[in-house]
Structure 1
């Protein structure tokens, strides 16, 4: 099960507009086969940071969705990113 987690960096003045712009990407991902969760959220401490968390049933389903990322206008507003993919071998309740 792949987990994608990290953050995007944007101009703090535009961060609160960037998060709702991601609604389309979130909806597309959640309707894609094998995606039980996908979230873009404003970080509560850093006004330039947008948190990214994705859960996928398989690597194949994650890769099939890739390429459905932000449009050029939104991508141009992302100033930096640290988003990584983690391969999870087991899952249990916290």
Structure 2
């Protein structure tokens, strides 16, 4: 996983070689987890823009905190879940190869 902030991206968030396939906005109540228990992976990267709140991101069994303003890039094949500590609002983007 790569972490940065929205301010770091300036003109916009993009990954060379990929385009947005699907996306949406999700809200997690305190204690909620973003995906059902068990492995959750994708064949291409996924980007989370944390718009509000704080929590923990679980990547391949390791846990790191996140907060509003963070950009989380989950690499292809990484098992991932977001866990809300406070109410979390996130925009998520599933990517696909641009070609």
- TM-score, length of structure 1 as denominator length: 0.34
Could you say which structure has the higher strand fraction?
2
Structure whose CA Rg is larger: 1
